[in-house]
Amino acid sequence: MRPLPTLLKLGFFLPLMSACQIGGGIEPSVTTLVLPYEAKIASCTTYSFEDNANSNIILGEARGDMLLVGFAPGLSREAQERVLAQYPFFDRLDGEVALESGNITKVLLHPDATCFEAEKMLKMLQKQDEVVFATPAFHPKPSEADAYQWVGLSNEILVSVESPEALEQLEHWMKKTKSTLVLSLSDELHLISADKNSKGNALELSSSLNQLAFVAAAEPNLIYSLTPINGQDAEVQSVRSKLP
């Protein structure tokens, strides 16, 4: 079994560019999202995926102060803000992360928002026509806290198959799960994307892939925001493989 190679992709948060506005229905009010008591007592989801060794890789609970959103291509900054302004805990947009499948927008929430509010907002955003997907962000592991500000879940999956001939089986799986081949890095290494219409997010689909005989290994393309050094802008690193 060949290990997944490390694929690094460094870049700065890019300023959001105005483009053509895409219309879509926006609900007049979502103030029912604010549930202070429930938010305090709710048990938030612990996000994880199962790797190719059947080990449970835990990312933890969602951060309450931010989330990541994939908007419809071409949606202007103003249109993005109108969608997000419906949600009481929305604070502001904070740039984009460029990945192979498209840009992901970093959305900041109010500092007092909890993982509960973040998860509720993620679920409601998935219902918006202007949103292709929405994913949580996490605190880095204690051992990595000095190196990273936050870790984010993208919509991408890196998958290594056992042989070039397995691509046909992978394509059948993608059709079944409504996921998309973004690019092939080699005959055996492929990058896949998912959206809100797929049969799971990048964590769930990675777990599914790791149960298949023709797959050597699969993992979500996590986004790592590097801690700024000497006042420099934060850099973003994606797909830092943790597999052996």
Query: Residues 165-174: pLDDT tens digits?
Result: 999 999 999 9
Predicted confidence at residue 29, as pLDDT, reads 47
Predicted confidence at residue 43, as pLDDT, reads 74
Task: Decide which of 11 and 63 is more confident.
Answer: 63
Lowest mean pLDDT among 29-33, 136-140, 225-229: 29-33
Find the DSSP H helices in 22-92: 36-41, 77-84
Q: Are strands 131-138 and 66-71 parallel, antiparallel or unpaired?
A: antiparallel
Is 182's pLDDT higher than 90? Answer: yes
Percent of the chain predicted with pLDDT > 90? 71
Dihedral pair phi/psi, residue 38, rounded to 5°: -60, -40
Statement: the pTM of the whole predicted model exceeds 0.85? no
Between the CA of residue 39 and those of 72, 116, 117, 202, what are the distances in Å? 30, 6, 7, 26
pLDDT band at residue 227, thresholds of 50, 70 and 90? confident
- Counts for the chain of helices (H) and strands (E), in that order: 5, 12
Predicted confidence at residue 128, as pLDDT, reads 97
Task: Decide which of 26 and 162 is more confident.
Answer: 162
Domain boundaries, the chain: 152-227
Express each pLDDT in 1-53 by its tens digit.
444 543 433 333 333 332 333 334 444 445 445 555 465 546 789 999 999 99
152-227 to CATH, choices 3.60.21.10, 2.60.40.420, 3.30.70.1560, 3.30.70.80? 3.30.70.80
